[in-house]
Amino acid sequence: MKIITILLLCCFCFSVFSQHNSVNDKLVIAHRGASGYLPEHSMAAKAMAYAMGADYIEQDVVMSKDDQLLILHDHYLDRVTNVAEVYPNKKRSDGRYYAIDFTLAEIQSLLMTEGFVVKNGKQEAIYPNRFPLWKSKFTVHTLADEIELIQGLNKSTGKQVGIYPEIKSPAFHLQQGKDISLAVLNELKRFGYDNLDDKIFVQSFDPTELKRIKQHLMPKLNMELKLVQLIAMTSWQETLVYHNGTSTPYNYDWMLETNAMEKIATYANGIGPWKPMLINTKMNQQKPKSNGLLEAAHQAGLVVHPYTFRADINRIPKYAQDFDELLHIYYYDIGVDGIFTDFPDKAVQFLQKNKDKRH
């Protein structure tokens, strides 16, 4: 029996109790699925996140050589698959194996596992206490595969779980000759996502591309979806700007300045900041307070969905005694509208325990 079937059978009863229907309008967004328990972006992780009662399930989208929309966190394959073993000669000069250099058939011939790094020639899991490397069988799937799963479960359960696709590295794809944003929008429209009332947020770290989506692509396709501007640290080099064959990192610093939220509100409906961006970091290990970014976002009419909340050992900040306190700080003390978490069950259970609280 396939693992996804087993998960559905085992978790379905739990889902009846865990679905909280956005208690007090606080959202639980399953970050790459239930990735604290199963390999990120596997279909099994998505089924488990659904059963755990997540309001939205995230999809990171990249493109293949033959223009298929894949669910992968990175636009390369070597962090979660055995591509280096199967196709050792297909790496680029930087040593990475890019999804855009492989067909869907080639990619689906690979095995997928927990995220890992290679140290001294040995693979080490990024999160050593999570699902063991190379156990069971997982493969990369397409955006269509995942939407069909979620929509199918919505029909069979009567629930309305939303999707939260991220368009990954759109400037890179354009530089490689592929318009990933247009392809994603066309696919979303094909599955019936085309207006603000639909259970979907479309996110990206690239503000230039979000503006293009808002001002050009969606009007052309007669669509209007909720857009979310993800915010990174400039030092991460999350987004590259290409000019005359060279690339430079996009500077995100302006997004944390006064009046930035009003500018973002001209093309987006929400922000997805790294969670430390919302607090006063000068508090050291004391209980943190809002630094004003959330209030500015709300005043501009933006929802705030920070990332990423993890319950792993050594992943809870020192200012919180445990994962529940971390959730309380952000959901209720800071006042965020939703969170991205690898542990959607824990966030759902927390909100149920605190269902009498209000904004």
Known catalytic residues are 31, 73
Residue type at 300 in one-letter notation = A
Contact 172, 207 (CB under 8 A): no
The residue count for the chain: 359
The helix or strand, by DSSP H or E, that contains position 122, with its residue range, turns out to be strand 122-125
What are the CB-based long-range contacts (under 8 Å, 24+) for 113-119? 113/39, 113/80, 113/81, 113/82, 113/138, 114/39, 114/40, 114/80, 115/39, 115/40, 115/73, 115/79, 115/80, 116/79, 116/80, 117/79
How many CA atoms lie less than 13 Å away from 259 in the CB half-sphere? 0
Angle made by CA atoms 343, 346, 351, in degrees to the nearest 5: 130
Burial of 307 (0-12, 13-18, 19+ CB in 10 A): buried
